[in-house]
Amino acid sequence: MHAPLIEAHHLVKLYTMGEETVHALDGVSFSIPRGGYCAIVGPSGSGKSTLMNILGGLDTPTHGRLVIDGADIGALDDEGLARFRNRTVGFVFQSFNLLPRMTALENVELPLIYAGVDAKQRRAQAEQLLARVGLAERMSHKPTQLSGGQQQRVAIARALAGKPALLLADEPTGALDTRTGQEILALFNELNREGATIVLVTHDVEVAAAANRTIEMRDGRIVADHANERTPRHDAHV
Amino acid sequence: MMRTSDLVASAARALRANPMRSALTALGVIIGVASVVAMVALGSGAQAQVERSIASLGSNLLIVVPGSFRGAGGVRGQAGGWDSLTLDDANAIAAQVEGVLVVAPSQRSRAQVIANGLNWNAQVEGVTPAYLTARDWEIAEGRFFDETEERQARRVVVLGATVARELFPNVDPIGETVRINGGAFEVIGILESKGQTGFGMDQDDVVLAPFTTVKRRISGRNRRADTVSQISVKAVSEDVLRQVEEDVTDLLRQRHRTREGEDDFTVQNLSSITETAQQTTQVFTYLLGGISAVSLLVGGIGIMNIMLVSVTERTREIGLRKALGARQADILHQFGLEAVALSVAGGAIGLVLGVLGAWLMTSLFNLPLVIAPQNAIMAIAFAGLVGVLFGAYPAWRAAKLDPIEALRRE
């Protein structure tokens, strides 16, 4: 637990739009230890989504060095990135991104399919994870038969499948009402206390306050990086 | 790395999700494969039919007829050379050409045949006993006349199956009497049925009588006694057939003192006719198959079209799968397999429909049903190939999608 899970050195991401070159990331450096719970905040266009995509192995930095769980992201090819996304990170999206034709159980099994886990083991793991997020009774429901909060719980269970080192959440409460959003954040807190490293991207300062640490971004740079006061409210639901 | 069983399950699930669309997409391939199978079977059936009917004329057979069809400067009809072949020519071929099994001269004429108040216009052919061997013909009932009867010009006849049926619908013709040109002839045998020739002539519509009998009593009254209308030459094997053909031609040129191009006879080689007919029907088969293959191509384009729509519709799903760890190869395989599954399933259904269609058409046209197993396997394999070819591009598009862009898509 001593070596940081994420080490970012001077990350630069350039996009060329016609004649213009946009610095989506303009020299971003930070590190997050194992077991950390960090929120990345900033207005749209601040580069937080780009940073999130790079942390998740969906994109690679133009310059700079990013090491996550010992893997140099910039050096991975498509196959290496796919393996990284499969084994090292778990995504939670704002719009859940569950496949509508599949049951909750099948959605959670999806990353395990790409890991090559056999069907029996896959089913056992998925059942365990759904029970963990409180959906033991809803395993064979399709996403449309679940509430928003329940859908996000399925998505979190899916993100946890394959025991990733890092949980990446992109506006996980953005599509939920306040109360349900609080429940999801409480679940993150719980998972963090059980040892999960979580990076949460949001534009909502209140949501960011749920994390232990906040990195504020603006125009592709980090403008602030501070530890959060733990407010009793966030722990109350746990 | 995705397991194969999961890959198959995933493709099956995607196809089941839109059953109507999958069925309509496969329909293009179904129609394509069905028409290829049916058309090739129909062509093969026609080919088999032609081969069979030509073979029924007799194998390793040369037929020498008077007159020349080869006039280069103009049309030389048969009429001028009508009497150019003689019995001596036939005897000379038998005596001098090597590799000849039998030589059978014959004299043809048409006549009205009357029996029991029924009458029938048949081809009456005067032949020698060797004729049966030359034409690979068998006696179905009774017997054939022998050489003595032939020499003595006995009044006996052997009926073809059609003539026997027409003149003696209810009676056994053996021992009965028929009248030809006023003379009475005893029926001593009935020929085995040969069916039609490739040119649509009924070979069973014939009455065989001894050569001398026909010459003297039926056709020969106003003609020279030694001319023949045809000489059938049967070679001992197919290998020597060409050589025999050349030797017969050379010998007859010598005897008739003609030069090449001025011949008053024609040597027809039935195996070359067979070859020509085979080639014709083969071209016919290829043509039909080729036209049908175009519809299979259209079916393939249909698959490509739907797969492209499917990739667009499922962009978000593809992005998600990539985010969850799907490699490009996994996506490629998934979408490729969907296309191949559609086309192979379509191919299998098309094969069944094609066989049914071929059976229907061949029974309609009275052709033999010829379906080679390798054609069936090829049809399925070809359908699979269509799936691979036309599924490749949409699958490649899916595999190359940028996951970030894909996830952003609504």
Higher pLDDT, B3 or A166: A166
So what's the pLDDT on residue B367? 81
| Of residues B38, B25, B13, B4, the one with CA closest to residue B299 | B25
Q: Is B18 an interface residue toward A (CB < 8 Å)?
A: no
Q: Is residue B236 a part of any domain in this protein?
A: yes
Q: Is B6 an interface residue toward A (CB < 8 Å)?
A: yes
Query: What is the value of pTM for the model shown?
Result: 0.73
Looking at the fold, whether B49 and B170 belong to one and the same domain comes out as no
Q: Is B8 an interface residue toward A (CB < 8 Å)?
A: no
What is the token pair recorded at B163?
């003539």
Contact B242, B143 (CB under 8 A): no
Looking at the fold, whether B173 and B80 belong to one and the same domain comes out as yes
Q: Is A101 an interface residue toward B (CB < 8 Å)?
A: yes
Average pLDDT over residues A198-224: 93
Domain of residue B9 covers 4-53+278-408
What is the token pair recorded at B353?
């429909």
Average pLDDT over residues A115-136: 94
Q: Is residue B227 a part of any domain in this protein?
A: yes
Looking at the fold, whether B294 and B256 belong to one and the same domain comes out as no
pLDDT in tens, B93-141: 989 998 899 999 998 888 888 888 888 888 899 999 889 888 888 898 8
So what's the pLDDT on residue B79? 40
Q: Is residue B304 a part of any domain in this protein?
A: yes
Looking at the fold, whether B77 and B49 belong to one and the same domain comes out as no
> In angstroms, what separates the C-alpha of B387 from chain A's closest C-alpha?
24
Number of domains in chain B: 2
Q: Is residue B356 a part of any domain in this protein?
A: yes
Contact B153, B209 (CB under 8 A): no
Question: B321 and A56: CB-CB below 8 Å?
Answer: no
Looking at the fold, whether B259 and B380 belong to one and the same domain comes out as no
pLDDT at A121 > cutoff 90 = yes
Q: Is A82 an interface residue toward B (CB < 8 Å)?
A: yes
Cα A144 to Cα A100: distance, rounded to the nearest angstrom: 7
Looking at the fold, whether B89 and B45 belong to one and the same domain comes out as no
Looking at the fold, whether B214 and B322 belong to one and the same domain comes out as no
3-state SS class at B107: strand
| Nearest residue on chain A to B404, alpha-carbon basis | A58
So what's the pLDDT on residue B72? 45
Shortest CB distance from A111 goes to which of B3, B325, B404?
B325
Question: B3 and A87: CB-CB below 8 Å?
Answer: no
Looking at the fold, whether B34 and B79 belong to one and the same domain comes out as no
Q: Is B326 an interface residue toward A (CB < 8 Å)?
A: yes
Question: ipTM of the assembly?
Answer: 0.92
Looking at the fold, whether B301 and B181 belong to one and the same domain comes out as no
Q: Is A59 an interface residue toward B (CB < 8 Å)?
A: yes
Q: Is residue B141 a part of any domain in this protein?
A: yes
Cα A67 to Cα A83: distance, rounded to the nearest angstrom: 15
Q: Is residue B377 a part of any domain in this protein?
A: yes
Looking at the fold, whether B253 and B310 belong to one and the same domain comes out as no
The full set of domains in chain A, from first to last, is 35-61+80-236 (3.40.50.300)
Q: Is B19 an interface residue toward A (CB < 8 Å)?
A: no
| Domain end (from B212, B229, B263) | B263
* Angle, in degrees to the nearest 10, between helices B328-365 and B19-55: 40
Cα B224 to Cα B401: distance, rounded to the nearest angstrom: 92
Looking at the fold, whether B196 and B108 belong to one and the same domain comes out as yes
pLDDT at A238 > cutoff 50 = no
Shortest CB distance from B2 goes to which of A87, A91, A116?
A116
| Nearest residue on chain B to A88, alpha-carbon basis | B325
- pLDDT tens track of chain B, all 410 residues? 688 888 888 888 888 988 999 999 999 999 999 988 888 888 888 888 877 777 777 778 888 888 765 444 445 544 434 577 888 899 899 899 988 999 999 988 888 888 888 888 888 999 998 898 888 888 988 999 988 888 888 899 999 999 998 888 888 889 889 998 888 999 999 998 887 765 667 888 899 999 888 888 777 555 667 788 889 999 988 788 889 999 999 998 888 888 777 778 888 887 777 778 778 888 888 888 888 888 888 999 999 999 999 999 999 999 999 999 999 999 999 999 999 999 999 999 999 999 999 999 888 888 888 887 887 888 888 889 999 999 999 999 999 999 999 998 87
Cα B104 to Cα B58: distance, rounded to the nearest angstrom: 12
> In angstroms, what separates the C-alpha of A230 from chain B's closest C-alpha?
32
Q: Is residue B398 a part of any domain in this protein?
A: yes
Contact A38, A212 (CB under 8 A): yes
| Domain end (from B263, B287, B321) | B263
Looking at the fold, whether B239 and B309 belong to one and the same domain comes out as no
| Nearest residue on chain A to B17, alpha-carbon basis | A101
So what's the pLDDT on residue A236? 44
Average pLDDT over residues A223-233: 77
Shortest CB distance from A114 goes to which of B316, B317, B326?
B326
Q: Is residue B179 a part of any domain in this protein?
A: yes
